Amino acid sequence: VSLLTAGVDVQRNRLEIEIVGWGHGKRSQSIDYRVIMGDTSDLGHMGPWEELREIIRSEVWRHPVGDVAMKLSCTAIDSGDQTQTVYTFCRAFQQPQVVPIKGVEHQTTLVGVPKPVDVSEGGRKLRRGVMLWTVGSSMLKSEVYSSLKLEMPTEESGGGIPPGWCDFPEYGESYFKGLCSEQLTRGKNRAGYTTYRWERIHERNEPLDCRNYARAAAAIKGIDRWGEADWQAIRESLHIDPPEKKTTETRHGVEFRKSTFWNK
């Protein structure tokens, strides 16, 4: 893992956050999942935003190789509910460290071109203000569920961990129900054409949303364009290029990254 991002889902009475580590091949490690209770319309000290602000600005996660302190590189926050509050919160950070996002169901790219949302007194858009990123909701969900379907390599296959592999700590059942809370269903419209739509099969879908937003943040950082040389450069800059067999464990004859990857 060489990059940390976070996805934040905004409800009226709480913020839910997943922190995700990313490595070469878009392999991911869920680092932490948190719920911050409070009135999300309140940006003051009584609201939940102050705690999120401290997480972004001050919290570090120590990489086991070299004991390197890593911070969040990008945090993506859903702006669909408390829109202006989210814009105000993001405005306090250098872009694109913390960005507002908006899901678009039929968008054909993971992230769209950012658009300015701040305006001057004359109504003109301020290009150095907050930028809103649209994200392809359906594409993100499809990618997450495709990754979750990947099978663990066997000793007979001799393969390594596949690109897109997701690793998780020992979260409770409610997290995984929320992560797997939607399914793609097929139907027909009035003209008889086949259509597809996502339907919720579990009441709470915040873990899925947070994972999608953290993935969108990683896309904003550019990981979809990075090759091995880019990841190697990042590892070298962080001094976390690991010696062989120091950050892996063997399960059934196959080497995996240890699930207890992070220690604060």
Tens digit of each residue's pLDDT (9 = 90 or more) over 142-190: 999 999 999 887 777 667 889 999 999 999 999 999 999 999 998 888 8
CA distance 47 to 98: 18
Residue 242 binned pLDDT confidence (cut-offs 50, 70, 90): low
What domain range is 100 assigned to? 3-257
Give the phi and the psi of residue 95 in degrees, each rounded to 5: -80, 140
Given a cut of 60, is residue 261 above it in pLDDT?
no
Residues 6+ apart with CB under 8 A from 76: 5, 6, 7, 8, 99, 100, 101, 133, 135, 213, 214, 216, 217, 220
The whole-number pLDDT of residue 19 equals 98
In a domain? residue 55: yes
Average pLDDT score over residue span 253-259: 44
Lowest mean pLDDT among 27-31, 129-133, 208-212, 238-242: 238-242
Please give the structure tokens belonging to residue 222. 């550019």
Amino acid 154 reads T
Residues 6+ apart with CB under 8 A from 127: 116
In a domain? residue 215: yes
CA distance 122 to 137: 34
The answer to whether the CB of 171 falls within 8 A of the CB of 34 is no
Amino acid 2 reads S
Given a cut of 80, is residue 39 above it in pLDDT?
yes
Write b or e for each residue in 104-120: b if 16 or more Cβ atoms lie within 10 A of its Cβ, otherwise e: eeebeebbbebeebeee
Residue 251 binned pLDDT confidence (cut-offs 50, 70, 90): very low
Given a cut of 80, is residue 259 above it in pLDDT?
no
Angle (deg, nearest 10), helices 137-148 and 206-221: 100
In a domain? residue 264: no
In a domain? residue 139: yes
- Sign of CA pseudo-dihedral 174, 178, 179, 181: positive
Residues 6+ apart with CB under 8 A from 193: none
The whole-number pLDDT of residue 63 equals 85
Average pLDDT score over residue span 130-153: 94
Amino acid 223 reads I
Residue 258 binned pLDDT confidence (cut-offs 50, 70, 90): very low
Picking from 23, 18, 2, 164, the residue whose alpha carbon sits closest to that of residue 71 is 2
Residue 129 binned pLDDT confidence (cut-offs 50, 70, 90): confident
Given a cut of 80, is residue 256 above it in pLDDT?
no
Query: What's the pTM?
Result: 0.86
The structural domain count of the chain equals: 1
The whole-number pLDDT of residue 172 equals 95
What is the average pLDDT value for the chain, to the nearest integer? 88
Task: Classify 123 in phi/psi space as left (phi over 0), alpha (psi -120 to 50) or beta.
Answer: left
Question: How far, rounded to the nearest angstrom, does the alpha carbon of residue 188 sit from its chain's CA centroid?
Answer: 32
In a domain? residue 263: no
CA distance 8 to 17: 5
